[in-house]
Amino acid sequence: MKKLLLLFVVFFNLNVFAQSDEYSVYVKDIETLQPIENATVQVLKTKQVLMTNEEGKVTFVLSGGSNVEVSEMNYENLTLRWAALKENGFVVYLKNKKENLDEVVVSNENPQKMLQKVVANSKQKIGVAHRLKVYVREFFMLDNQYSYYNDGLVNFQFNKNNTTTLLVEQNRSYGLIETDVSTDLKGYNLNDIMENYSNFKYLDPLLSPNAKKEYDFTTKGHAKNAAYYIMSAVPLDKAKEAIDNFEIIYDPEKKIIVEFTITVTPATLDKVEEKTKEGDKNMTKSFVKVNYRWDGTDYYLLSSNEEIAYDVVSKEKTKNVQVRNSFVTTGFNKQNFTYNESDVFKEKSLFNKKNKILTNYWDISGFTATDEEKAIIASLEFKL
């Protein structure tokens, strides 16, 4: 009996020491004390990468302690020891960079040729085989009403030709209204969108021979970071095809892209001829923002936000459809998956995946959410 009791005590203690605790870190501006959104927080012990939400907050699960590394383009990087972090109540303060470098970059090289070199080098750097653990989230709106929601924790295996294999660890997918909107659902194709990020396909319009006739290129120094340049490409008034506005932040020394943003302005959309046939789609909004991470040795996708809205022409009434898709990478690894072919997710969107919930994975995603989005996600709890 004493031996059994001793074994119980040993196993109990092992379980206590092995259990993980949940921690939250807040990142703030040291001068204004305001939260810093979209800062990158890496837990050095686990190599988990998180991004702060609008409260400057990330949440993660950890056994024991770990130093953390915090960075944001407009602030000085900071690595903080665990002991100092605990003494500070899990608040990290970053110093704002004081540079004021918003000057036109003088270069003898054509901006388009420079971009071609940067894109080619970025493709080469990101093109090695690797694996990303990604939290993905998607909102669907019909006629300005949130109608469907899905999110999941997934793994993308990148092959050397930049194609991807997708495995879904956990996911949930729910309708938010009583009306069946399944016929209107138009989710993003997860494999296609990730492959487009790694191939930088979104920048193809700027690399074509006709780009000079369609866009006005300018390059400036980054206002807060001397290591980066900002290239802008704006459609010319005489442009026939171009409607997108591009902003590309890149490292001119390493020749890699750090971030790009693509938007369509209302003024540009006004120039597009409206389609009137049944089933035609007329775009009303388009937004893409993609961030990449260079950690000193490896280069990979960090996060993305895409939003598209369009009116669908029908006999009864015109429907407005809006879809917002977001990725955040929480883990990078050069090891390949071990999986069976039957485990591979081959559908386009998590709309088509049966719910699989093992943990509250969404609580530790470290993902940015607006107050409106938080309310929507919170409303799902009764369905879990």
pLDDT digits (tens, 9 = 90+) for 23-80: 889 999 999 999 998 899 999 998 888 888 888 988 888 888 999 999 998 899 999 9
Count of Cβ atoms closer than 10 Å to residue 298 Cβ: 14
**To which residue do tokens 């300005």 refer?**
144
Q: What is the pLDDT of residue 9?
A: 42
Strand pairing report for 91-94 and 21-29:
parallel
Count of Cβ atoms closer than 10 Å to residue 330 Cβ: 22
Largest pairwise CA distance in the chain: 89
Name the pTM for this structure.
0.86
pLDDT band at 12 (very low <50, low <70, confident <90, very high): very low
Count of Cβ atoms closer than 10 Å to residue 214 Cβ: 20
Residue type at 161 in one-letter notation: N
Q: What is the pLDDT of residue 10?
A: 43
Tens digits of residue pLDDT in 340-360: 888 899 888 888 788 999 988
